[in-house]
Amino acid sequence: MFLVVFVALLAAAANALGSVLQRVGVRTVPRNERMSVRVLRRFASQRVWLLGITATLAGTALQAIALAFGPLVLVQPLLISELCFALVLSGLAFGSRLRTREWAAVGATAAGVALLLVALAPGGGSPRDASIGAWILGCLLTIAVVGCLVLLNHRDRHAHHAVYLGTAAGTWFAFTAALVAAVTAALTAGGVVAALSAWQTYGLILAGPAGFFLLQQMLRAGRLEASQPALVLSNPLAALGWGVVVFGEHVRGGGWITVDLLALAVIAVATSMLARSSLLNDRAAAD
């Protein structure tokens, strides 16, 4: 399990690097300009944005490796550390020092994730054991939830856009992680032929770009202090549902549920503190 944890943390660090670089890149396009092929071309003309995409792809590959050897309920919560890495990397990139308050939030986030994993004690289950009925239920629920959040984002006239899109992106990323877990399970069990025969492979081809589009929309919807906590918390919660309900993974119940809720509360507060850091907003990137 140590190797799974290490690789998952490397994935979080790569994702954080990608997020920092992409956020610098998307600043060149006004937020009121709708996402389009032309806008993506403007992003792609910038080396820093392309480097960010490369780092994100590396993070995805590392996540796939972790999911090949560890349960979804273990790997996804570890990705919460992405925001901690993003803060530290932003400080290094822009020559700023983290304050005591920010270091305390980093420590609290790490403690919250550790407490959550101890309380859950995930194990067992496998994408190969999931029934087609469970897959259909999970896919329909995910599409319905994300669709409703995107619809609310378009209809709400208040400053909730970043929260809606952050929650939608986090939920969708948990879904793509479930697809990655299924593809890697097929690959390790039967090789390339088995992976190409799995419908999840082609579902991933469709879901990946959709998640990328949601992330770009989220990055341009508002400040990270609104979108990032929603993204960070919705991802492991949705992954918990996929792991337990669809894959049959085991977590501890009973009194441990109270500990789970306490850990999530600590993570929510610490994440909110991290997302308010000036190192993660557009002004810091511009300096």
Alpha-carbon distances of 38 from 33, 71, 165, 276, rounded to whole Å: 11, 39, 21, 31
Length of the chain: 287
- For residues 283 and 37, the model is more confident at 37
Which neighbouring-strand residues pair with 250? 123
Could you give the angle at the alpha carbon of 245 between the alpha carbons of 128 and 237, nearest 5°? 115
Grouping H, G, I as helix, E, B as strand and the rest as coil, residue 96 is coil
pLDDT computed for residue 143 by the predictor: 94
CB 256 within 8 A of CB 84: no
**Which one-letter amino acid corresponds to residue 78?**
L
Segment 140-149 shows an average pLDDT of 94
Number of Cβ atoms within 10 Å of the Cβ of 198? 21
- For residue 267 the two structure tokens come to 């993570």
pLDDT computed for residue 216 by the predictor: 75
pLDDT computed for residue 26 by the predictor: 64
pLDDT computed for residue 286 by the predictor: 44
Cα 205 vs. chain centroid, distance in angstroms?
17
The model's pLDDT over 43-94, given as tens digits with 9 standing for 90+, comes to 777 788 788 889 989 998 999 899 988 899 999 889 888 888 888 887 776 6
Q: Structure pTM? A: 0.78
- For residues 126 and 203, the model is more confident at 203
User: Percent of the chain having pLDDT more than 90?
Assistant: 36
Domain ranges (residues) in the chain: 2-286
- Which residue is listed with tokens 């990608």? 18
Alpha-carbon distances of 63 from 25, 166, 224, 254, rounded to whole Å: 24, 20, 23, 30
Strand segments, DSSP code E, in the chain are none
The model's pLDDT over 224-264, given as tens digits with 9 standing for 90+, comes to 666 777 887 888 889 989 999 999 999 998 899 999 999 98
- For residues 278 and 179, the model is more confident at 179
pLDDT computed for residue 34 by the predictor: 61
CB 258 within 8 A of CB 197: no
